[in-house]
Structure 1
């Protein structure tokens, strides 16, 4: 028993060592090959374009002189310092990846602790129902006892989720996620976006006001659409105050000053990052090529998103209309989701990550990998879901056929863009199906928690809820 804590920490240490060795090994074997993969690196995250920006700087030109560089000036500045060390640049991405996993591990501990406290009352009442029904049954059959045990397991998952074994599972899901590994090996800057998002989630759970707003500002600096995560992050910051009462209804007007304060600090961080970027780049050209770039969608390089094919096919006179339609479609989801899940901002954060992955103009597999890794925190919903096998099969199918159809289209000229785009549609459809399934699972579990596994009728008999 004395050695149990040591063995658990050693197991986590071994997970990190194996994950690092896999990434380093793949970097030496296929690192350069993956640089050209459009599934892993997009116009805003490509390492090749980052190297091009460094070349511009060496010749005394602005990286934003043309229309191919869309990295932010801070990343270009750091990469320029390490330009002589190819492995040193890779270590920068690897370090960011490891930092993300550490924040995920700490976030899991805080998340399970807060969830356990919030659901402790429901869990105790369900245990009482479970014992009561067994006492009433004179000779419970194996089937009825098994059913009761299975139902109770749905709630017990949260209660045991603070153990090191469960936290190790969450860590494993990130460190050995193939999409995350390939993104790190390909040195896609989505790695830094994921780090910023994970930091925002952790600091919001911890109630760290300044660091939360800074993390969301950094994520927004890398990807403009990440600004939507300011909503669940703010709700998470306010949630400790909200849940102090027995009945914690969220009132927007009473918390309006807090929202305005968070928004003000977020705006200050954005202004500071803008000024730093101006100092590093020497001009304001970076704003058009970083912030405004995804708004106008000028680059139609194929990716795993929904919109590149559509904009390559439409007539130019309709382009402005569809640009507005695409962006409005994205923002229409924000208010309904916020109203629905305002009492559970952690789940709202997950939904927004999935929304970013689906509606992002230039998504990569790294975005999808981050969403799936974060999903491991809600493993207690899996017993309620219906489509995990279908979604997993689609992801596996598309992961194989995406590079295959790309090779047929570009290198062999035996296919066309329709083959490749069909796989991107499948990935987006699978993500939407998964999000829909999770919302249903969340609602069903919440109903069971609030109403109990059993309903008492007028004769005070306990009836089973199917």
Structure 2
């Protein structure tokens, strides 16, 4: 598997290097779908120029990046292309290792559930097997490395790639159970953009579960959180809900917090999607990050209802973005409403994607406990209707 990952990294870096040397690089760096005033490389260069002239980059309305990015590229401006390619490699490797460790946690939870007869006897087809999950880490890395959205973000030298790397390392540290490193990179991610503060709750949940799952493997206690930590985690969740509500205006955060307390990794995936959808200046790089997690939920495919419609919406919207922009800005045969409408369609597609996975996850968890062959009280076949 390591050889496959190295080969994927080589191919991904080669594709990026070729595009960096092509005439498309400048065109991509100007695309509004790929860069925004908050992460554009052009704004970074302007900020560095102002800094060299002794003028504060923040004195006007040109530079919006953090001082960390400003001083980072003050020393690495000549190696910018290498930095962005290395950033994508780091992100992919972090996601790969996180997916590997997550697989181990999944198997541990399944084993405990079977030992204590938590699952119904007829759900063998829903159980995740080592053969099924063996290739998931590589698929996660490929979904990030070879995603056109990721490639465009890297070639445009959008600092969104750096944001994604910070969040990926945060996820890795969380899955590994390192509370200190997780907190450091969550703070960095929040420093770069206020929105990742919403990942605070799923990180705490995963760190808590990482602790008591490992404890329960060597004891007779079944999935019981130590009482001395219960008040702390509950209080942190309440604070995070309030922060998310006021800072993100994300109404879906509150029910998701309560509905996925036992599934923090999926909760983290949902929160990354919500962050990407509700950002003030969203770009395709934000979308690429949470889409890299989709192979981790391949066991939900049988319960997805709208995947064909969602796929068509996302692909058609991605194709129409540059077309409608050209008609509006250059051809003059359209107006801003055309581009605004396709942006809404793209976001609706993302919302349908996340809600479909949301439904599929709940449906699978229900069948794991109640069984696949459901019967009504009178003995007839029953059907599940989730409202």
Compute the displacement of 1:171 (Å).
1.8
Distance 1:408 1:338 in 2: 43
Compute the displacement of 1:197 (Å).
1.1
Q: Which residue of 2 aligns with 1:116?
A: 107
Structure 1 residue aligned with 2:154, among 167, 170, 184? 184
Map residues 117-156 of structure 1 onto 2, 5 A cutoff. 117-120=108-111, 129=121, 152-156=124-128
Distance 1:395 1:186 in 2: 21
Distance 1:54 1:89 in 2: 13
Q: Which residue of 2 aligns with 1:22?
A: 15
User: Is the Cα–Cα contact under 8 Å of residues 119 and 368 in structure 2 kept in the other structure?
Assistant: no
Distance 1:123 1:27 in 2: 52
**Number of residue-to-residue matches in the alignment:** 373
Gaps of 5+ in 1: 1-7, 131-150, 264-325
CA distance 1:128–1:353, change in 2 (3 Å): closer
Distance 1:74 1:344 in 2: 34
Q: Which residue of 2 aligns with 1:284?
A: none
Map residues 16-415 of structure 1 onto 2, 5 A cutoff. 16-29=9-22, 30-83=24-77, 85=78, 88-120=79-111, 129=121, 152-156=124-128, 158-163=129-134, 165-243=135-213, 244=216, 247-248=222-223, 254-257=229-232, 330-415=249-334
User: Is the Cα–Cα contact under 8 Å of residues 100 and 194 in structure 1 kept in the other structure?
Assistant: yes
Distance 1:249 1:388 in 2: 36
Q: Indicate the structure (1 or 2) with the bigger Cα radius of gyration.
A: 1
CA distance 1:431–1:60, change in 2 (3 Å): same
The TM-score, its normalising length taken from structure 2, stands at 0.88
Distance 1:68 1:176 in 2: 32
User: Is the Cα–Cα contact under 8 Å of residues 120 and 369 in structure 2 kept in the other structure?
Assistant: no
The TM-score, its normalising length taken from structure 1, stands at 0.73
User: Is the Cα–Cα contact under 8 Å of residues 195 and 247 in structure 2 kept in the other structure?
Assistant: no
Task: Report Cα offsets for 1:149-180 as digits up to 9, x if no partner.
Answer: xx744324x543442x3322222211111101
Compute the displacement of 1:247 (Å).
4.9
CA distance 1:217–1:258, change in 2 (3 Å): same
Q: Which residue of 2 aligns with 1:277?
A: none
- My pick for the range that moved more, 327-336 or 440-449, is 327-336
SS in 2 for 1:160: helix
User: Is the Cα–Cα contact under 8 Å of residues 190 and 366 in structure 1 kept in the other structure?
Assistant: yes
CA distance 1:363–1:249, change in 2 (3 Å): farther
Structure 2 residue aligned with 1:13, among 6, 18, 40? 6
User: Is the Cα–Cα contact under 8 Å of residues 119 and 369 in structure 2 kept in the other structure?
Assistant: no
Task: Report Cα offsets for 1:321-353 as digits up to 9, x if no partner.
Answer: xxxxx9666243332211111111111101111
SS in 1 for 2:157: coil
Distance 1:252 1:401 in 2: 54
Gaps of 5+ in 2: 239-244
Compute the displacement of 1:111 (Å).
1.1
Compute the displacement of 1:464 (Å).
8.7
CA distance 1:464–1:401, change in 2 (3 Å): same
